[in-house]
Amino acid sequence: RSSLPLERYHRLSDSAMDTLCEDLENILDNLGNPSYEVEYSSGVLTLKLGGHGTYVINKQPPNKQIWLSSPVSGPKRYDYSESDGHWRYSRNNESLSELLNTELSKTLETPVDLDL
């Protein structure tokens, strides 16, 4: 269980989600595919990629985590790492940014460089 104070969790997770939404909107605008869409509301970000599936990324305040549901790699839960400032998956220490960059670059066939 995270020792991160709740107010700090909200600041960090809100910042990560806002940055992610803005960056994804820019990427999708540049791709110009009308079947691609990103929405962010009430702590839940939904990235619809047409036939490639849908990503859902959401805040989980009770656990102080960010949860990801990926059509490629499935569900994962990310904890904030004070040591490097990234949201990391405890099973393999991969950051949320690293996973999304890898999966989205392959899916969208264009380099994706998200830095949360």
Ordered by where they begin, the domains of the chain are 6-107 (3.30.920.10)
Q: Is the pTM of this model over 0.85?
A: yes
Q: Calculate the average pLDDT of the chain.
A: 96
What is the Cα–Cα distance from 108 to 72, expressed in whole angstroms?
A: 13
pLDDT for position 23? 97
Q: Which residue has the tokens 């999304």?
A: 100
pLDDT by residue (tens digit) across 60-114? 999 999 999 999 999 999 999 999 999 999 999 999 999 999 999 999 999 999 9
Q: Is the pLDDT of residue 1 over 70?
A: no
Sheet of 74-80, strand order: 36-41, 44-49, 54-60, 65-70, 74-80, 87-89
What is the Cα–Cα distance from 113 to 116, expressed in whole angstroms?
A: 10
% pLDDT > 70, the chain:
99
Looking at per-residue pLDDT, the higher value among 3 and 47 belongs to 47
